[in-house]
């Protein structure tokens, strides 16, 4: 029997939400369908001089807005259904956070963790040549970003190769996001998805209409994080810094749990040094890392891969809130079990949209060829200085020079990005939570899907793409 794929999950969630929509079912079918899936094979020389044939995919789910946008993951598990499902998620993720992109996703069937950097570079540059030849990359066409198994290094190679192939495109830096700062990346992109997870959790906890039963704020909340990669690490760090107690961390090789709390940075250092967390000298260590997510906590943050919470273990989850930091960590069967048990699920469609939000800021920055703080900082400092002058004149009190200098300092680009991300996640949560109440929907996932699919459907109508 074929195992359910991410695209199967997306289709089921979409159809559950579509029953609440009044749009023509034929239009909704068009909105659901993936527009393009490009499967490619190309030869790359491996480290011993032999030729290896690489299999790769790029899916573009919807062209209702351009460019399409989505990460590239490097994994031996990549297949067409996976990238189709992830591309579809990207379409609706962008709609939720009001980012003007259609959804896309890419995948390359290599193991980046067991391959040399030189081989990964050759594969990456050859991939860009293939995408460029078939019009699947460009600032106004399709803009990749990091995903599982890729990062700033690979994005730098992509940008450099695209620039070489398209020397007359003055916007070549905006062909990809998630680049290093030295290559016109943007501060905050690395931690953006994890930081967005933090803001989403905070909004859910503060929602007076939510049924999770937890008090607002993070003070003393017990958190288990599955996956201590880029997303999980930054989410855990931010949650911890705002009062949460990290009681469990699960990785690919093992998991560790301590109800009194773990030193998250110490666990991260152990993982970095030893390649995993097996043998960590504190707490209770589980050889089967999935046992970790079944331990008592207030908030469970699956930040690893898809299908981590399934019908097999959903009834053993002991959390009040499941915060989906990964793409598709909960299967539809498991989602029904969690909802029946009264566990609130903050859906991936909304919760991990921080990455594409800040990618949007980077794309805008690259197209405008100027940083945000360069445009705003001096003006902000001048206005603040005038305000402080007025306060001093009216009160007759002189403000301490050190304090005045601190208050007058204008926002850095990182400050601007952080504030805009927080505002985006706050407003997006309010939209889907309000829709859930107004339409009496069963959960936040249905509200997120319904909000986004209706927005995309309306775009099809306004563009004349549906009669």
Q: What are phi and psi of 24, to 5 degrees?
A: -55, 130
The answer to whether the CB of 453 falls within 8 A of the CB of 435 is: no
Distance CA 298, CA 243 (A): 13
- Work out whether the CA dihedral 106, 109, 110, 113 comes out positive or negative: positive
Helix axes 6-18, 332-340, angle to 10 degrees: 50
- 105 carries an active-site annotation: yes
**Which entry of 32, 105, 179, 365 is annotated as an active-site residue?**
105
- Polymer length of the chain: 467
How would you classify the pairing of strands 68-74 and 245-250?
Answer: unpaired
Instruction: Of 319, 317, 320, give the one whose Cα is nearest residue 331.
Output: 317
Q: Which residue has the tokens 């699956």?
A: 302
Distance CA 14, CA 98 (A): 19
The answer to whether the CB of 136 falls within 8 A of the CB of 38 is: yes
> Which residues are known catalytic residues?
105
């Amino acid at each position: 029997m074929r195992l359910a794929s991410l695209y199967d999950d997306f289709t089921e969630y979409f159809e559950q939400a579509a029953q609440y929509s009044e749009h023509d079912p034929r239009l909704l079918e068009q909105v659901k369908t993936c527009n393009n899936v490009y499967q490619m094979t190309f030869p790359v020389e491996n480290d011993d001089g032999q030729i290896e044939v690489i299999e790769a995919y790029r899916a573009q789910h919807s062209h209702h807005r351009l460019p399409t946008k989505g990460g590239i993951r490097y994994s031996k598990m990549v297949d067409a259904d996976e990238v189709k499902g992830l591309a579809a998620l990207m379409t609706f993720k962008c709609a939720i956070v009001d980012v003007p992109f259609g959804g896309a996703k890419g995948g390359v069937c290599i193991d980046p963790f067991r391959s040399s950097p030189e081989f990964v570079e050759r594969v990456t540059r050859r991939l860009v040549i293939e995408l460029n030849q078939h019009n699947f990359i460009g600032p106004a066409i399709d803009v990749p970003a990091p995903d599982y198994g890729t990062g700033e290094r690979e994005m730098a190679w992509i940008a450099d190769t695209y620039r070489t192939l398209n020397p007359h495109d003055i916007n070549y830096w905006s062909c990809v996001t998630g680049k290093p700062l030295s290559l016109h990346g943007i501060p905050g992109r690395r931690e953006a998805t994890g930081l967005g997870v933090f803001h989403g959790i905070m909004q859910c906890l503060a929602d007076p209409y939510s049924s999770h039963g937890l008090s607002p704020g993070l003070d003393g909340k017990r958190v288990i994080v599955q996956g201590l990669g880029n997303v999980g690490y930054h989410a855990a760090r931010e949650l911890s810094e705002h009062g949460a107690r990290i009681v469990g961390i699960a990785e690919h090789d093992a998991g560790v749990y301590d109800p009194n709390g773990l030193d998250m940075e110490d666990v991260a250092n152990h993982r970095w040094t030893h390649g995993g967390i097996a043998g960590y000298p504190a707490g209770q260590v589980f050889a089967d890392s999935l046992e970790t997510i079944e331990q008592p906590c207030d908030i469970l943050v699956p930040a690893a891969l898809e299908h981590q919470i399934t019908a097999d273990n959903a009834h053993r989850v002991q959390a009040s809130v499941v915060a989906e930091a990964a793409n598709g960590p909960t299967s539809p069967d498991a989602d029904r079990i969690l909802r029946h048990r009264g566990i609130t699920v903050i859906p991936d469609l909304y919760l991990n949209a921080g990455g594409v939000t800040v990618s949007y800021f980077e794309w805008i920055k690259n197209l405008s060829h100027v940083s945000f703080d360069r445009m705003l900082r001096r003006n902000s400092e001048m206005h603040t200085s005038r305000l402080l002058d007025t306060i001093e004149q009216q009160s007759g009190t002189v403000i301490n020079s050190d304090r005045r200098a601190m208050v007058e300092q204008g926002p850095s680009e990182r400050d601007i990005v952080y504030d805009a991300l927080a505002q985006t996640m706050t407003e997006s949560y309010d939209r889907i939570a309000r829709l859930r109440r107004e339409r009496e929907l069963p959960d936040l996932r249905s509200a997120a899907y319904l909000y986004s699919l209706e927005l995309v459907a309306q775009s099809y109508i306004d563009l004349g793409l549906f009669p």
